[in-house]
């Protein structure tokens, strides 16, 4: 059956759109790498990566402390948000009635639309004084930034996890219940494992949002370029470093900030690859019937 001219034009338009997106990404990456290359060549890639002192005025351009800060904040944020998100998504998909579900979905969608600066102000006014009064330090810390990030990524993880759970075929639940399993056993042993690849995708998206967030983190993390000894110490993330210093950076300092963006890109790629490998492993296990 021959294709109509309309179908051919639509296919070509979709192809052009896809190529445009790919080319745009490649151009951005090339720009970042080319701008950051002089700093990496002058200071050395491994020195830049493994030195923990960031003092451009004295020629010290190590980003290790900011790598640790970024990973530290992101992992703690995920540790807080992932259990809450999965529980909320499971409740919405498997337990809640229609009226409750209709109320919760727009509330969660609204939460995802709140600007970053609002989250930052909330952390500055509420979370920072709370951490200062009840724990230790000044309140500007890894823990404070992680709490704010965990709130920010909740909607993303909840929404994608919910879609994954409701896409599990109803026959799976009926077969489990027919064998005498309780509702909770069905959710725990059948529904969640079947939806696990989608849930891992949700976690990946949340992780990407967390590690790339800038404004809210700047307002509460303390922005001290040292390796934090505890969750109550201040830190500086890679994104915060770029945002704070780009307005006045010149020369090799300017190039070093682009090199910081290169390191951030590499870090995100590594985290995404690890997450994808985990997702693939669970997908294969489910396909092979081991879950």
Can you give the CATH number for the domain in which 85 is found?
1.10.3720.10
Whether residue 33 sits in one domain with residue 79: no
Whether residue 274 sits in one domain with residue 235: yes
Whether residue 238 sits in one domain with residue 176: yes
Report yes or no on 157 lying in a domain.
Answer: yes
Report yes or no on 90 lying in a domain.
Answer: yes
Whether residue 42 sits in one domain with residue 145: no
Tens digits of residue pLDDT in 101-129: 888 888 888 888 888 899 999 999 999 99
pTM: 0.85
Whether residue 217 sits in one domain with residue 181: yes
N- to C-terminal Cα separation, the chain: 43
Smallest CA-to-CA distance from 54 within 46, 63, 42, 45 is with 63
Domain of residue 129, residue span: 65-288
Report yes or no on 55 lying in a domain.
Answer: no
* Domain tally, the chain: 2
Whether residue 43 sits in one domain with residue 141: no
Tens digits of residue pLDDT in 26-84: 999 899 999 999 988 888 888 888 888 888 888 788 899 999 999 899 999 999 999 99
């Amino acid at each position: 059956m021959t294709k109509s001219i309309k179908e051919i034009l639509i296919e070509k338009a979709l192809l052009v759109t896809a190529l445009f997106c790919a080319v745009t990404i490649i151009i951005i990456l090339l720009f970042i790498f080319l701008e950051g290359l002089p700093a990496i060549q002058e200071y050395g890639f491994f020195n830049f990566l493994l030195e923990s002192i960031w003092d451009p005025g004295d020629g010290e351009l190590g980003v290790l402390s900011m790598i640790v800060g970024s990973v530290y904040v992101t992992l703690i944020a995920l540790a807080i948000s992932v259990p809450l998100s999965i529980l909320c998504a499971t409740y919405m998909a498997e337990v809640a009635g229609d009226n409750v579900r209709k109320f919760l979905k727009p509330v969660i969608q609204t939460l995802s639309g709140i600007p970053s600066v609002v989250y930052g102000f909330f952390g500055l006014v509420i979370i920072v004084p709370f951490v200062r009064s009840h724990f230790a330090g000044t309140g500007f810390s890894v823990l404070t930034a992680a709490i704010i990030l965990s709130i920010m990524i909740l909607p993303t993880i909840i929404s994608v996890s919910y879609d994954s759970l409701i896409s599990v075929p109803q026959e799976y639940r009926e077969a489990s219940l027919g064998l005498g399993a309780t509702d909770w056993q069905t959710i725990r042993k059948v529904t969640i494992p079947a939806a696990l690849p989608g849930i891992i995708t949700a976690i990946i998206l949340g992780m990407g949002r967390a590690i790339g967030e800038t404004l809210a983190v700047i307002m509460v993390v303390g922005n001290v370029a040292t390796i934090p000894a505890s969750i109550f110490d201040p830190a500086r993330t890679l994104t915060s470093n770029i945002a704070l210093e780009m307005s006045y950076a010149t020369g090799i300092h300017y190039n070093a900030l682009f090199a910081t963006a290169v390191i951030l890109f590499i870090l995100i790629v590594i985290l995404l690859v690890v997450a994808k490998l985990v997702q693939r492993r669970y997908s294969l296990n489910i396909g092979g019937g081991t879950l």
